[in-house]
Structure 1
Amino acid sequence: MDAAQGLPDGATSSAAGRDITADVIRAVAAMAKLAPREITGTTRFRQDLDFDSTNILELLMRLEAEFDIEFDPDTFGAGTFETVDGLSSYVRETLGG
């Protein structure tokens, strides 16, 4: 954990100096009604947070609004949204970072 920022190790900045992983963690934590510190990059949506497809769709819609992007369902790979790190990487790639 990066004690200075209170973020998981490996949380990286991207487009416009944003910390994509931290932003994704905050969105996930808000939906799961947890503190951001309780979410890590390895947190699994279905197994750890009990998210169903509706929760994941809602999360994607939040992130689209947050980052002003649109996810292309044709680029979703198996396991893309299995973990917070996977989703963060996908957001980073979508942003071109």
Structure 2
Amino acid sequence: MILEVAILHIKKGLTPSFETAFKEASAIISSMKGYINHELQVCIEDDHKYILLVRWEHLEDHTIGFRGSPEYQEWKKLLHHFYDPFPTVEHYTVI
């Protein structure tokens, strides 16, 4: 299993719209091959900062399967305009 981790900084004043769009985007990612589960958490100290955790069966399910899919284009359209700066995405595995 692979854990995808992204820290999301949302533009000021857009958090309600982001959360609504993320609910729609959740249906997209959860339908993808290799997807296990995901969670979105908001930072207590900064309510414009979120952490996205997505569990995938294999790294390629995210990096090739999801990112190379037409569904990812819809994900981008729904979410990418909320970020400033654009998030760095990292992948982790259990030791």
TM over 0.5: no
Higher share of residues assigned helix: 1
**Structure possessing the higher relative contact order (Cα contacts under 8 Å, 6 or more residues apart):** 2
TM-score w.r.t. length of structure 1: 0.37
